[in-house]
Chain A
Amino acid sequence: MPSAVRFENVSRRFGDVRAVDDVSLDIASGEFFAMLGPSGSGKTTCLRLIAGFEQPDDGHIYIFDEAVEGVPPYKRAVNTVFQDYALFPHMTVGENVAYGLMIKGVGKAEREQKALAALEMVKLGGYGARRTSQLSGGQRQRVALARALVNDPKVLLLDEPLGALDLKLREQMQEELKSLQKALGITFVFVTHDQGEALSMADRVAIFNEGKIVQVGAPEEVYERPNSPFVADFVNSSNVLTPQFASGHGGTSKWTSLRPEKIMAFAAGAPVPDGHAHADAEIETISYQGAVTRLGAAIGDMHLIAQVPAAATRFAVGDAVRLTWPKTAMVAMEGGP
């Protein structure tokens, strides 16, 4: 598959801060690619480097194998959905969507027809004549999407586009974005700090920390096999076991990730199944979350979170429990925290 966006040892500094630090990455054509990381991790700067709002200090960026250093944003075949949507307040919804076509010199009749088609694609067919101030947050988001897609970009960049929406709307938009991407076959590069969003939507996820990419892989991969304590903790808050604890409880003497849902809780002294490791712990916290309950348990200095089915919970804070988990669920990682 041809590469849509390629970074070769790209760095971008702001003063003394290395916002993007020697990043190499390869996004395939037609891929739904998520850049995930805490704020200040460099993911948005990477997006702006692709859009052309920033230029790299070192390294090279290729869009469909064309070097784009020095190419201004208006000459790149990429379009952006901005975090605050950045709709033009002095234009109607239709004029907003048709803006890119007007700049390209597309005739009035054709661009109106294309803008209408783009608005229908995002389910805002009858909204062309409205002012952007009359729209809700979710509708503005769709207008921003239509305004970008109407230009037939080779790569669509989305900068935390769902951040301002409420939970229900966000889940609905996740579905829609994903099916839209499948239908159009355009490469989507999506920046988010919400790991659930990244895992549920993307074909591949790159996890950023302090200007570097720490791990790239399919959602299952970064979830099941985190390569560092940072990834284990950032992606759905895994238990990070110290080398000492891990080696004493069925693992190796490396930093080890153990997902809370892999841990089972039994009464003290219960038999340990084959192939399982165990630890005797005292319950510190119980957090009821509907379908599941999260138990916080202490084994000496080590604190573990166990996520167990709600129906199976009959513990109280202070109870002694026996925690067990399959040895195969212990994922050894490189490096330390």
Chain B
Amino acid sequence: MSSDAKAVGSKKAGSPLGLRIAAITGLLFLHLPLALIILYAFTTEERSFQFPPPGYTTKWFGVAWYERPDIWPPLYLSLKVAAIATLMALVLGTLAAAALSRAKFFGRETISLLFILPIALPGIITGISLRSAFDIMGLDFSVWTIILGHATFCIVVVYNNAIARFRRLSGNLIEASMDLGADGFQTFRYVILPQIGSALLAGGMLAFALSFDEVIVTTFTAGQQSTLPIWMLSELIRPRQRPVTNVVAVFVIFVTLIPILAAYYLTREGEHTGGASK
């Protein structure tokens, strides 16, 4: 029995050398830039990115924290925009997915495609069309125009996640719940939400991440405000205190890593129980 298991295990581990090298190269390609960003947060050279860095210091963390109040408004704005856009996307995307997964009507596929289109369109198209739309409506460019711009593609992400789960949700479960005395709200709370919860969480995380580092649509829909990515872009052009940008980037990496890991583990468990119940 145990020798059998071992045999299977060693067979699995023994993937071809070429494949392993390719996988490692791919991983390095993806993650080396990340390592470099962290590395340059500690460099002593503030004007250019030399490799290897001439020396190492932690002083930029202090500089970012005490001497650079210009970091905080963009960071705060980005968080606010991402949070509100994600919230709007969660509500609207879930409702749209619920409607399109249950009802059958003429033109359903077309509407479904129209929902997904904003993420397929190049950002500049979305940006230009939103900008002219806001112009025509006489809306001043503000935080809210940025949020509306971000919501267009955040809804898609939530919708895509939610509709996949809704399609797996048997309509009978909803009827069973109502048959057992639950009204629409209770059915949503106790039957639908637990089934789609992890999908919504994953969709919400992704939407938040997309909004948080969005540059193109933001450029077209923002007024005087600058979000964190736009602030970073402008910082890279300035010659002084370059590592401060890296310090902020390191901060962003660690702050976003936590919810992404959480979302990963949550949806993995969701898939597992979903698959097992089939």
A-side residues, CB < 8 A to B, are 51-53, 72-74, 78-80, 82, 84, 86-90, 99-100, 102-104, 131-133, 147-148, 151
Secondary structure of the B side of the interface? helix
Pick the residue among B180, B273, B276, B278 that contacts A99 (CB under 8 A).
Answer: B180
Tell me, in angstroms, the Cα distance from A66 to B191 when the chains sit together: 30
1/0 per position for B247-278, CB-CB distance to A under 8 A?
00000000000000000000000000110111
Tell me, in angstroms, the Cα distance from A100 to B177 when the chains sit together: 8
1/0 per position for B189-208, CB-CB distance to A under 8 A?
01100110000000000000
Tell me, in angstroms, the Cα distance from A161 to B276 when the chains sit together: 23
Q: Are A51 and B179 in contact (CB under 8 A)?
A: yes
B173: A residues at CB distance < 8 A:
86, 88-89
Q: Are B276 and A82 in contact (CB under 8 A)?
A: no
B181 at interface by CB-CB < 8 Å: yes
B183: A residues at CB distance < 8 A:
72, 74
* With A131-B276, A132-B277 as contacts: A89 and B179 at CB distance below 8 Å: no
The closest CB in chain A to the CB of B270 belongs to: A90
Pick the residue among B170, B175, B181 that contacts A151 (CB under 8 A).
Answer: B181
Tell me, in angstroms, the Cα distance from A147 to B195 when the chains sit together: 19
Q: Are A86 and B277 in contact (CB under 8 A)?
A: no
> Least Cβ distance of A77 to chain B in Å?
10
Q: How big is chain B's contact interface, by range?
A: 20 to 34
B-side residues, CB < 8 A to A, are 170, 172-173, 175-183, 186, 190-191, 194-195, 273-274, 276-278
Q: Are A84 and B179 in contact (CB under 8 A)?
A: no
Tell me, in angstroms, the Cα distance from A131 to B272 when the chains sit together: 13
A151: B residues at CB distance < 8 A:
180-181
Q: Are B182 and A79 in contact (CB under 8 A)?
A: no
Q: Are A84 and B181 in contact (CB under 8 A)?
A: no
Q: Are B190 and A99 in contact (CB under 8 A)?
A: yes
Q: Are A100 and B180 in contact (CB under 8 A)?
A: yes
Q: Are A74 and B274 in contact (CB under 8 A)?
A: no
The closest CB in chain B to the CB of A51 belongs to: B179
Q: Are A86 and B176 in contact (CB under 8 A)?
A: yes
A-B pairs with lowest CB-CB distance, top 4:
A89-B277, A100-B180, A86-B176, A86-B172
Q: Are A79 and B180 in contact (CB under 8 A)?
A: yes
A80: B residues at CB distance < 8 A:
175-176, 179
